Amino acid sequence: PPSGVSLRAQPPGGQVALGARLELSCAVAAGTGPLSFSWHRGGSGTPLGTGPRLELRHAGDNDSGHYRCRVSDGDSVAESDPLNVTVL
């Protein structure tokens, strides 16, 4: 099963100016087979995107919040700790 899921933000710290670009990337320390990624904000079950990276091209006020990356190998799911994104 996937494990050790971590998030990184560019710019670091998850603070981004209004209208600027923010990229979140998801890394998995361990896991075999085809992995699928999904991105979630707050308690929303609807994915914001799929794949190991999520790009917010023009960050808006409603993009602030806690982001998580969820990784699945088809049988089990692992989730990152939340990363707080602040739009300044």
Q: Whole-model pTM?
A: 0.91
Looking at residue 43, its pLDDT comes to 79
Looking at residue 33, its pLDDT comes to 81
Look up the CATH number of the domain holding residue 16. Answer: 2.60.40.10
| Number of domains making up the chain | 1
pLDDT digit string (tens) for the chain, length 88 residues: 899 999 999 999 999 999 999 999 999 999 878 999 999 999 777 899 999 999 999 999 999 999 999 999 999 999 999 999 999 9
Looking at residue 31, its pLDDT comes to 85
**Domain interval for residue 12:** 3-87
Q: What is the DSSP string of the chain?
A: --EEEEEEEESGGGEE-TT--EEEEEEEEE--S--EEEEEETT--S-SEESSEEEESS--GGG-EEEEEEEE-SS-EEEPPPEEEEE-
